[in-house]
């Protein structure tokens, strides 16, 4: 089966555009394997939070009369400029280069021993009293051979001085307060093999028949370029449309007046957002304030303001829905969900599992509203 070729973009980017434009969720680029989480420290992973907050029921925007909360500004006859959706040859060639760069791999070194600070590609298996224990095995794992790199003391350091291609073993002891009681305070043995040392340079593949066949299932470069261009052009047109909707949305929000806030909803949103940051802080052994400042560049006051703005945009969106008479029927919802699933190469269930049904429902409402607003607007194309 041929893979659907898409621009190097995430559904998350679409959700930022097609849900409320000012709503942002922090992204964590750190990928931690299940095995590293097991041998990497004392916590159970992101998800636990020290915040003990009051459980507040979500505010029902659809059921409540919102006229006491928000007065909408102009949403009919707005003027907006829409960028050209034509895909130029230069844009297409740049997209091919960007795609190839995404397949670039680090140079792999095998002709010297591991030095401190090297990133190695390795396999390892952990044994307790001669029996392999669950979660202590990984293949093709990237490990930084240095202290304080997320593993239990002595694990990553044991790779220093090892020779690629040669099996070796070592003993380490889990901390007494380790989260897994079966391993806490226990000595275990790891049997490992370093495959290679990651170099600092990268090797970008060439666009060849073999490359497109291996990675995309197409027969040759010519076939690939034809179909890839169609896909890139389709997605540029979609993003141009989405950017225009975002411009219209900003005009509507900026022109609307908040008369009052449902304060419990503001508190609920703040509680949920703070709990996420606190779970990051707990996982990385930091404080809530440090995580906000060092990793995200914001303060708690900023988070409170963001939470209030989040609610503001929901008030505007749902009041706009009421005033325009836009209704999300089951037919519209199902069709939109299938469109998103097909467009981004995922299943409907995968979208819901990853983003949540509420997020997808809000996205669909926003998309329907903005298409309606666009139909009432004065659009000038570049």
Higher pLDDT, 4 or 237: 237
Do 275 and 130 belong to one domain? Answer: no
**Any domain includes 151:** yes
In tens, the pLDDT along 10-47 reads 333 334 333 344 443 333 433 333 333 344 433 333 33
- Confidence at 50, pLDDT banded by 50, 70, 90: very low
The parent domain of residue 178 ranges over 107-203
Co-location of 259 and 314 in the same domain: yes
- Both 226 and 83 in a single domain? yes
DSSP 308-376: HHHHHHHHHHHHHHHHHT----HHHHHHHHHHHHHHTT--HHHHHHHH-HHHHHHHHHHHHHHHHHHHT
Distances in whole angstroms, Cα of residue 327 to Cα of each of 53, 116, 202, 259, 260: 34, 61, 51, 25, 25
pLDDT at 295: 87
The pLDDT mean for the chain works out to 86
Residue-wise DSSP of 246-290: HHHHHHHHHH-EE----HHHHHHHHHHHHHHHHHHHHHTT--HHH
- Residue 3 in domain: no
- For 26, residues 6+ apart whose C-beta sits below 8 A from its C-beta are 276, 277, 280, 295, 296
In a domain, 6, yes or no: no
Q: Rounded to whole angstroms, how far apart are CA atoms 5 and 143? A: 32
Q: How confident is the model over 244-301, as pLDDT tens digits?
A: 999 999 999 999 999 999 999 999 999 999 999 999 888 877 899 999 998 899 999 9
Same domain, 62 and 114: no
Q: Please name which of 20, 84, 9 lies closest in space to residue 246, comparing C-alpha atoms.
A: 20
Would you say the C-alpha torsion 173, 177, 179, 183 has a positive or negative sign?
Answer: positive
My answer on whether 226 and 366 are in the same domain is yes
For 185-206, how does the pLDDT look when each residue is reduced to its tens digit (9 = 90+)?
999 999 999 999 999 889 999 9
What is the number of structural domains in the chain? 2
The reply to whether 2 falls in a domain is no
- For residue range 77-115, list pLDDT tens digits in order: 999 999 999 999 999 999 999 999 999 999 999 999 999
pLDDT score, position 81: 96
Residue 54: band (very low, low, confident or very high) from pLDDT cuts 50, 70, 90: low
Statement to judge: residues 260 and 149 lie in one domain: no
Q: Are residues 115 and 74 in the same domain?
A: no
Domain-terminating residue out of 203, 225, 252: 203
82 and 195 inside one domain: no
Which pTM does this prediction carry? 0.68
Is the same domain home to 315 and 341? yes
Q: Are residues 89 and 227 in the same domain?
A: yes
Residue 1 lies in a domain: no
- Domain boundary residue among 180, 203, 226? 203
Q: Which of 175, 203, 231 is the last residue of a domain?
A: 203
Check whether residue 149 and residue 195 sit in a common domain. Answer: yes
Judge if 184 and 159 occupy the same domain.
yes
**Residue 34 within any structural domain of the chain:** yes
With cut-offs at 50, 70 and 90, classify the pLDDT of residue 179.
Answer: confident
- Output the pLDDT for position 212: 95
């Amino acid at each position: 089966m041929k893979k659907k070729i898409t621009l190097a973009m995430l559904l998350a980017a679409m959700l930022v555009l097609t849900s409320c434009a000012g709503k942002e969720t922090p992204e964590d680029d750190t990928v931690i394997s299940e095995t590293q989480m097991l041998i990497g420290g004392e916590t159970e992973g992101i998800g636990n939070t020290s915040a003990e907050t009051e459980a507040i029921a979500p505010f029902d925007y659809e059921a409540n009369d919102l006229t006491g909360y928000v007065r909408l500004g102009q949403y009919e006859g707005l003027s907006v400029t829409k960028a050209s959706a034509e895909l130029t040859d230069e844009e297409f060639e740049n997209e091919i280069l960007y795609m190839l760069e995404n397949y670039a791999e680090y140079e792999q070194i095998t002709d010297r021993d591991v030095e401190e600070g090297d990133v190695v590609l390795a396999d390892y298996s952990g044994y307790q009293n001669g029996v392999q224990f669950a979660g202590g095995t990984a293949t093709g794992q990237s490990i930084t051979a240095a202290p304080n790199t997320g593993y239990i003391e002595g694990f990553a350091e044991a790779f220093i001085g090892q020779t690629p291609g040669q099996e070796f073993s070592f003993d380490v002891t889990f901390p007494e307060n380790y989260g897994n009681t079966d391993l806490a305070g226990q000595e275990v043995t790891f049997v490992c093999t370093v495959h290679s040392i990651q170099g600092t340079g990268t090797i970008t593949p060439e666009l060849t028949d073999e490359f497109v066949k291996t990675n995309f299932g197409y027969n040759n470069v010519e076939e690939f370029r034809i179909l890839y261009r169609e896909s890139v052009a389709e997605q540029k047109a979609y993003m141009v449309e989405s950017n225009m909707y975002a411009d219209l949305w900003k005009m509507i929000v900026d022109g609307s007046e908040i008369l009052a806030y449902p304060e419990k909803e503001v508190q609920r949103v703040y509680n949920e957002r703070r709990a996420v940051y606190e779970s990051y802080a707990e996982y990385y052994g930091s404080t809530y304030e440090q995580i906000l400042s060092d990793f995200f560049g914001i303060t708690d006051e900023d988070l409170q303001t963001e939470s209030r703005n989040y609610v503001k945009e929901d008030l505007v969106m749902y009041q706009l829905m009421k005033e325009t008479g836009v209704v999300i029927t089951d037919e519209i919802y199902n069709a939109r969900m299938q469109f998103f699933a097909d467009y981004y190469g995922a299943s409907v269930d995968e979208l819901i599992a990853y983003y949540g049904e509420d997020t997808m429902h809000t996205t669909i409402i926003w998309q329907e509203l903005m298409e309606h607003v666009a139909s009432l607007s004065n659009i000038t194309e570049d």
